[in-house]
Amino acid sequence: MDRVVLCMKWGTLYGPDYVNVLYNAVRAHLPGPFRFVCLTDDATGIDPGVECFPVPDFGLRPDLWQIGGWPKIGVFQRDLYGLRGRALFIDLDMMILSDLTPFFDHPAPFIATDMGANWKPRAGKGPEEPGTCLFAFTLGAEPQIFERFNEDRNGHAHRFGLEQNCVAAFAHSVTCWPADWVISFKRHLRPPALLGAVLPVRRPPASAKVLAFHGRPRPLDLIRKGWWGELPNIGRGPVGWMRDYWLRYGGN
């Protein structure tokens, strides 16, 4: 089965560097053939090796382009630009740490990241809360997500609050990645509240395959001088291992 890595860039929050760094990091960590596809409203500055298509426009209210990730619902259309095979969707603010092959080899039909209470070091096992920062599915196999959402776009957006809650509710079934595959910068590596002024950021453990930067800070915040974050969760940059990663994979 063909392998497709998907990402999305709309608006101005993330520049083309985020796409290019992710593309180069995936190339370094995914042996064998694959297609790298970016759905975007502006392909300026994106590496020519990236296949760019427009972000699907399916009638979202303008404000829903500004909160959460509602445009992601578009990837579940029956026909997404003729793409076929197994897709791995990766948010732009993710850091690739090791081989991505296991994400494609996992047998679950639809598998996502547990971003709930379990997504903490030494967390007790509770109900899974699938999130869409990194998920895998077979292209065209979950069209009911797109179609059910579009039956009542505004109503579903109001009821679910975040697109990942809608995806989890409408998918045929959802499994989550093993807990140590995708970790959170804020929950696993950032110093405790108020201690970021004196304690360094921890390095990702060897067991982690992907590091997620959900919300603030974002990767670029960590490669600049000065404070990042919001009180009481602050830190000071630059963080050496983040800066090295960004430059190694083509960021400015």
Count the residues in the chain. 252
**Is residue 68 predicted with pLDDT exceeding 80?**
no
Does the pTM of the predicted model rise above 0.85?
A: yes
Q: pLDDT higher for 91 or 123?
A: 91
- Please tell me whether residue 55 adopts helix, strand or coil conformation: coil
pLDDT, mean of residues 177-182: 94
The pLDDT, as a whole number, for residue 123 is 66
The pLDDT, as a whole number, for residue 118 is 87
**Is residue 121 predicted with pLDDT exceeding 90?**
no
pLDDT, mean of residues 69-79: 96
Closest residue by Cα to residue 4 from 33, 31, 46, 24 = 33
Closest residue by Cα to residue 245 from 216, 213, 198, 214 = 213
Segment 7-59, tens digit of pLDDT: 999 999 999 999 999 999 999 999 999 999 999 999 999 999 999 999 999 99
